Structure 1
Amino acid sequence: MAIPVPLPRVVKFENDAYGMFIHWGIYSQLGQGEWIQHLKGIPMDEYVKLKDSFTADQFDAYKIAMTAKNAGMKYIVLTTRHHDGFSLYDTRGLSDFDAIHSPAGRDLIAEFVDGCRKAGITPFFYHTTLDWYQPSFNEDFDAYLEYLRASIEVLCTHYGPVGGFWFDGNWSKPDADWKLDELYGTIRRLQPEAMIINNTGLSHLGELGHPELDSVTFEQGRPTPLNREGMSKYVAAEMCQTINGHWGIGNHDFSNKSTGELIENLCACRKVGANYLLNVGPTAGGQIPKLQEATLEVVGDWIRLHNKPIYEGKPSLIKGQGDNFALETEDGRTYLFIHRLSIDGHANVTTGDGGTGPKAFTGVHQEISSVRWLDNNEELSFTHDPQSGLLCFQATGYPYGDNLVVRIAVIS
């Protein structure tokens, strides 16, 4: 069966490859994650007082956008409203539980969009569908859905073209009629080129939903290949993940993922053609924590060595052993991703065992003139049988002082 041709907005999304997720709101002042009100059972009439101390005095949208850009990220998804019901945008009369009515006194989403555009980053809007603040969510669901739709209409009409809308919360009422035709129809009418994504949650990774959706989601889990044969439309895939264990900032969460793990996760996403959406949790004032900022910068350094295959590479029928895999670009080049190489050097200063030596790939039927490392252009010896498709090349180790975590060879 045929695979549908992706729409231009989906092509752009897949080529963007890597994005920043930002969870930030009044909950950030407590430093215990974005679910603190719900998990701690804080009465809403007490919780809402956090609005009175929300200043956003360190929020610099352009600086954040440049941090994303330097990290190799092409888009940012920001929580315009999370489950606690507080909006970072001017809701224009729909509610006074928003940034305009806080000491910040500003439309922070307007600043976010402006900062992204100045930095050449595509802005996306996260928006909750679940709402702990609005009584109508439980008492008059139809009225709540109109409030939600009107909120999205505000976001569609006051900030210019945006990359997309990233919804989250339908899993809270799995059997309800969310009137998605009306919600998504508002976006298609006012932002026809916007991606529409609705997170299926931890228990339904990669699940397809409403026909207007443009991407499936994999929350905190590596994506699996999508079988798009016979689909009514081509949908993308995206993995979203935290740097530590919280989406919103956790002041005492010291379990941060290493740069090596993040690089491997990015490669695992690209292996199956999925995007990687990596979260940061800004401080109460709106500043990305220094460790997270530095972590992103290091991953960005790795991406700069491998721009072309990361952004332009598409899944290949060429197969490697273990975690090794191949991506192909439209110019006919094939890139081989190699995991767990060891470092060359004197036994007294090197650690690790194995990793170098012959690496085999099958399905390589084109003629080959060279195999070389992408990072330093070192030519590698190889044997190749085009008829059987077997390619075997000699993988040298990292020069002492280097470790790329995943090293890429290009064949031509």
Structure 2
Amino acid sequence: NKHWGVAKNDINYVSPKQLIDQICNSRKVGANLLINTGLEFDGAIPAFSQSLLKIVGQWMSVYGEAIYATNHYENQTYLASGETTDFIKGNYLFVYGLGNIGNSNVVLGGEKARKIVFNQYPQRVTSITWLDNQALFEFEQVLDGTLTIYANAFQYGTHLIDRVATITVED
């Protein structure tokens, strides 16, 4: 929320999306993120903070390898072209704001794959695989290094906020 420690009348906590976005943004710039929780008078972690940490732990159990395997000094960051927050760091693709795939009677819009372009990506890509379900997805790469990725949305019943994939490249 907006205080150091616990404030009885401050319920303006960050959302799971805000916190997961901050984790990914920190990784994009090569920084670490300290998640601070204020303790109750008896040393207990407040219930909302416990819930938020549990959700972040659930996300990290799926995507944590990408966070721990990409450090600033060894891994360059490649930003997608256009007005997007998507990026590649090391051998990982971070994609923000995907919706859900599904029947349009159940899912608003029934999302399709989103086109993401990286200009001058220097490595030759052989495959891209989502970490959450190990599904491969489509991409194109031309000789000038332009990498076009078609990132499909989450299957109905799953939405992990920000999605991460492993990029396999030629040696």
Q: TM-score, normalised by structure 2?
A: 0.88
Contact 1:340–1:355 (Cα < 8 Å) also in 2: no
| Compared CA separation, residues 353 and 260, structure 1 to 2 (3 A) | farther
Partner of residue 147, structure 2: 391
Structure number with bigger Rg: 1
Change (3 A) 1:308 1:363: farther
Q: Which residue of 1 aligns with 2:116?
A: 359
Instruction: Give the aligned residue type for 1:326.
Output: I
Instruction: For 2:109 and 2:95, locate their aligned partners in 1 and report how far apart those are by CA, in whole Å.
Output: 16
Tell whether the 8 Å contact from 2:104 to 2:110 is kept in structure 1 after alignment. Answer: no
Tell me by how many angstroms 1:358 deviates.
Answer: 1.5
Report if aligned partners of 2:113, 2:152 keep a CA contact under 8 Å in 1.
Answer: yes
Task: Report the counterpart of residue 80 of structure 2 in structure 1.
Answer: 320
Q: 1:324 to 1:392 in 2, by over 3 A?
A: same
Counterpart Cα distance in 2 of 1:319 and 1:351: 28
Tell me if the contact between 1:317 and 1:363 (Cα under 8 Å) persists in the aligned partners. no
Which residue, out of 325, 328, 338, partners 2:95?
A: 338
Change (3 A) 1:252 1:352: farther
How far off its partner does 1:268 sit?
0.6
CA shift in 2, pair 1:256/1:351, >3 Å: farther
Runs of 5+ unmatched residues, structure 1: 1-243, 329-333
Residue identity in the other structure for 2:156:
Y
From 288, 294, 317, the equivalent of 2:45 is 288
For residues 406 and 312 of structure 1, the distance between their equivalents in structure 2, rounded to whole angstroms, comes to 17
Mapped to 2, the partners of 1:278 and 1:318 lie a distance apart of 26
Shift of 1:364: 1.9
One-letter code aligned to 2:129: R
Aligned equivalent of 1:183 = none
Counterparts in 2 of 1:251 and 1:352: CA distance versus 1, 3 Å: farther
Q: Pick closer, same or farther for the CA change 1:339–1:352 going to 2, 3 Å.
A: farther
Distance 1:354-1:263 versus aligned 2 partners, 3 A rule:
same
Q: How many residues align?
A: 163
Alignment of 1:94-105 (within 5 A): none
TM-score by structure 1 length? 0.38
Contact (CA 8 Å) 2:40, 2:46: kept in 1 or not?
A: yes
Question: What is the DSSP-based 3-state SS (H/G/I as helix, E as strand, rest coil) of the residue aligned with 2:36?
Answer: strand
Structure 2 counterpart SS, 1:360: strand
31, 48, 54: which one pairs with 1:297? 54
Deviation of the 1:352 alpha carbon: 6.2
Matched, 1:404 2:156: no
CA contact (8 A) 1:336 1:408 kept: yes
Is 2:31 the partner of 1:274?
Answer: yes
Provide the secondary structure at the position in 2 that maps to 1:318: strand
Q: Secondary structure at the match of 1:276?
A: coil
| Structure whose residues are more often helix by fraction | 1
Identity %: 33
CA-to-aligned-CA distance 1:59-80 (integer Å, 9 cap, x gap) = xxxxxxxxxxxxxxxxxxxxxx
Instruction: Give the AA of the match of 2:22.
Output: N
Give the C-alpha shift of residue 353 in structure 1: 7.9
Q: Give me the whole-angstrom Cα distance separating, in 2, the residues matched to 1:341 and 1:324.
A: 11
Secondary structure of 2:125's counterpart equals coil
User: Which structure would you say has the larger RCO, counting Cα contacts within 8 Å and 6 or more residues apart?
Assistant: 2
Which aligned pairs between 1:1-400 and structure 2 lie closer than 5 A? Answer: 244-314=1-71, 315-321=75-81, 322-328=84-90, 334-351=91-108, 356-385=113-142, 387-400=143-156
Give the secondary-structure state (helix, strand or coil) at the position aligned to 1:369: strand
Q: In the alignment, is the contact (CA less than 8 A) between 1:372 and 1:410 conserved in 2?
A: yes
Partners of 1:306 and 1:374 within 8 A in 2: yes
Deviation digits for residues 123-170 of structure 1 (CA, Å, limit 9, x no counterpart): xxxxxxxxxxxxxxxxxxxxxxxxxxxxxxxxxxxxxxxxxxxxxxxx
For residues 277-333 of structure 1, give each alpha carbon's deviation from its aligned partner in whole angstroms, at most 9, with x where no partner exists: 1111111111101110111011011011112210121342422131011111xxxxx
Runs of 4+ in 1 over 3 A off after TM superposition: 351-356
Task: Output one character per residue of 1:322-377: Cα deviation in whole Å (capped at 9) or x when no partner.
Answer: 1011111xxxxx11101111101122222368673221112322222111111111
Partner of 1:11: none
CA distance in 1, matches of 2:129, 2:145: 18
Q: Residue 383 of structure 1 aligns to a residue in which SS?
A: strand
